[in-house]
Chain A
Amino acid sequence: MSLQSPVGSDHQLARLLQIGIVLEEVVEARAVKHTEAGSLDEEVRALLEDASAESADHRSQLDALVDELNAETIPFDEIQSLVETQYESDDEFDGVLYDQLCNEETAYKFYDDLIEAIEHSDAEFSIDRDRLLAVLREIRAAEEAGVEEVTRLMERRE
C-alpha cells in the first residue's frame, strides 16, 4: 500500500477510463433490464432510452481515448458479456427512477474524482491533456444534467 498518484502513467489512465466504460455499460444494462420489465409509462421509458443512448455515446468517447493511449486493454465485448450475464440473473432492482438517479450520481462522482486526479498529476500522457480533460468535463456535465433531470422527474411524482 502506498500513497502514490493514481494517474501517473498511460497504463493507469487507461485503466481508469476502462472503469468508466464499465460503469457506462452497467447503466445501459440496467436501463435495458428496466425497459424490458415493462409497465413503465412513456416519460420514464423515454428517460431510460435517453440515458442508455447517452451512456453508449460516453462509452464510445472513452473507448476512443483508451485507443490513443499506449496501454494494453482487454476487448470490450468480454466486459459487455460479463455485465449482461450478471444482470440477467439479478432481479433485485430498487425503484426505476431511484436506480437511475444512483447511476447518474455514481458516474458524476467517478468523473469528478478522475478529473481532479488528472489535474493533480504531473504525469505526461501520450494523449493531449487539455483534450482529455475537455472530453471528461463534457461527460461530467452530462452526468450532472442527468442527475438534475431525474431529480426533477422524481419531485414531480411525489
Chain B
Amino acid sequence: MNTANQYLKTIYLVQEIEDGPASTGAIAEMLDVSPASANEMVGKLEAKELCAHEKYKGVELTDEGILRARDALQNYCIIERFLYGVLDVEEFRAEAKQLEPVIDETVAERLDTIIDREPQCPDCFHAEADACALLETDAD
C-alpha cells in the first residue's frame, strides 16, 4: 500500500471518530507525522479530487476517496488476519502497521485466499481502537 492510500485510510477513520470532517492535526497524530507533512499530502490528495479540504473545518473524502480508503482498510484487515491466523504473530497489529506499505492489494488478495475474513469487512473495523473489532474478540 502506498503512502497516499495510508492517508486516505487515516482520513476515513478520523472522519468516523470525529463524525464529520477530519482535522489535519488528528490525521498527523494518527500517522505519527508532522502537521506540515499531513497538510502537504492532503493538498496532493485534494488535487487528485480524492478529498476536499476546507480551512478551519477539516478534510472530507470524496466518493472516489472513500472507495480507495475502504479498499486500503480491507487490505490492512487482510494483513492483520494473515499475521494472526497464518503466521501466528503475537504482535500482529504492530506488525501489520509496519508491513502495510509494502503489501500491495494484488498481494493482499492472494493472502486473502488462505484466511477466514468476515463478510462485513471492512465495516467491522473499529476506528478508535484502530483494529478489527471481530479479530479482537477472537484474540481475547
Stretch at the interface among A3-11, A52-60, A135-143, A145-153: A3-11
State whether B114 touches A22 (Cβ < 8 A).
yes
Chain A hits for B89, CB < 8 A: 15
Known: A2-B31, A22-B86. A16 touches B102 (CB 8 A): yes
Query: Does B64 sit within 8 A of A, measured CB to CB?
Result: no
**Most B CB within 10 A of own CB, among A1, A74, A79, A109:** A1
A33 → B minimal CB distance (Å): 12
Q: How far is the CA of A74 from the CA of B100 in the complex (A)?
A: 21
State whether A23 touches B107 (Cβ < 8 A).
yes
Q: How far is the CA of A98 from the CA of B86 in the complex (A)?
A: 26
B64 → A minimal CB distance (Å): 22
State whether B87 touches A18 (Cβ < 8 A).
yes
Chain B hits for A8, CB < 8 A: 98
Chain B hits for A2, CB < 8 A: 31-33, 97
Query: Does B30 sit within 8 A of A, measured CB to CB?
Result: yes
Q: How far is the CA of A12 from the CA of B98 in the complex (A)?
A: 8
Query: Does B99 sit within 8 A of A, measured CB to CB?
Result: yes
B46 → A minimal CB distance (Å): 19
A22, A90, A117: which contacts B111 (Cβ < 8 A)?
Answer: A22
In the complex, per-residue mask of B80-99: 1 if CB is within 8 Å of any chain A CB, else 0: 00110011110000010111
Binding site for A on B (CB under 8 A): 3, 6, 9-10, 30-33, 82-83, 86-89, 95, 97-104, 106-107, 109-111, 113-114, 130
* Given A23-B107, A106-B110; 13 other pairs, CB 8 A cutoff: A1-B10, A1-B30, A6-B99, A15-B87, A18-B87, A19-B99, A22-B111, A74-B87, A79-B87, A102-B106, A109-B107, A113-B103, A117-B102
List 5 A–B pairs whose Cβ atoms lie within 8 Å, in order of A's numbering.
A1-B130, A26-B110, A26-B114, A83-B114, A106-B109
